[in-house]
Amino acid sequence: MADRGLRADAARNRTNIVRAARALIAAHGVDVGMDDIAREAGVAVGTLYRHFPAKADLIAAIVGERIEEMLADLDAASARLDAGGSARDELVALVTTVAARAGEDRLLKAAAGDLVRTSLNDVEHRAIAALRQIVAAGHRQKALYRDVSADDVALILALLPGEETPDPARRRWVQLVLRSLLADGEGEPSAT
C-alpha cells in the first residue's frame, strides 16, 4: 500500500483523500474539482497536492485500488473453485458483481478496461490466470461453451456498461452475456 512508511497523520490524510475522491468521482465523475475533494477529505488543498501532485495521480491510485479489489475477488473465486465450487456460480457472480459495481462507480469500468489495455504485467497476469482457472473449471464442468476463453471473459468485463446505463438495461446486459457463455452441460444454451 502507498500508506506504508508514512507518519500516522499523513497516512490518515491520504486515506481520507482517497476515500473522498472515490465517493465524489463515483457520484459526479472525474471532472470533480481537487478543491472539492480536499474539502470532502477535511484537508487543505496543499495537503492533497503533497500526496497527489496531479489529479491523474489520484485517479491512478483509485483505479489501482479498484484493480486490487477485482483481483481479490478473482483470487477468492479461484479458492472456492479449488475447494470444489461451481464454475458456473463463480462466473455468474463475477459478471453480476462487476456489472453492479460499474453502475455505481464510474472508475470501475476504467479499471476493468485497464486489465485488457495494459501491457502484460503482474496485475494482468494475475487476473488472466484467475480467469483461466474459472474458464478451465467451467469447461471441465461443461458449464461453458468449449470455445469460451479467459480472454473472452476479460474482454466482456472491459466492455461492461457503466453508470450511464440504467440498472434494468445493465441487468439485461448481464443476462445476455451469461447466455452467450453458459452451456447446459450438453453444449446447448443455458436457461439463464
DSSP string, 1-20: -TTTTS-HHHHHHHHHHHHH
What percent of the chain shows pLDDT beyond 70? 83
Q: What radius of gyration, in Å, describes the C-alpha atoms of the chain?
A: 19
Q: How confident is the model at residue 1 (pLDDT cuts 50, 70, 90)?
A: very low
DSSP state of 43: S
**How large is the average pLDDT for residues 125-131?**
87
Q: What is the pLDDT of residues 145-184, one digit of tens each?
A: 999 999 999 889 888 887 778 889 989 999 999 999 998 7
pTM of the model: 0.71
- What is the amino acid identity at position 130? A
The per-residue pLDDT for 185 is 61
Rounded Cα gap, residues 93 and 95, in angstroms: 6
Long-range contacts of the stretch 17-21 (C-beta < 8 A, 24+): 17/41, 17/43, 17/47, 17/48, 17/51, 17/52, 17/58, 18/58, 18/61, 18/62, 18/65, 21/58, 21/59, 21/62
Q: What count of residues does the chain have?
A: 192
Most confident of 58-62, 83-87, 126-130: 83-87
Question: pLDDT tens for residues 2-43?
Answer: 555 668 888 899 999 999 998 888 778 778 899 999 999 999
Supply 117's cell numbers: 489495455
Ranges 7-16, 62-71, 130-139: which has the least confidence:
62-71
Query: Which candidate, 17, 29, 63, places its Cα nearest to that of 162?
Result: 29
**Pick the residue with more confidence: 57 or 49?**
49
Whole-number pLDDT of residue 3 = 54
Kindly give, in sequence order, each residue whose CB lies less than 8 Å from that of residue 118, ignoring residues fewer than 6 positions away.
124
Query: DSSP letter string over 44-57?
Result: -HHHHHHH-SSHHH
Q: What is the mean pLDDT of residues 35-63?
A: 92
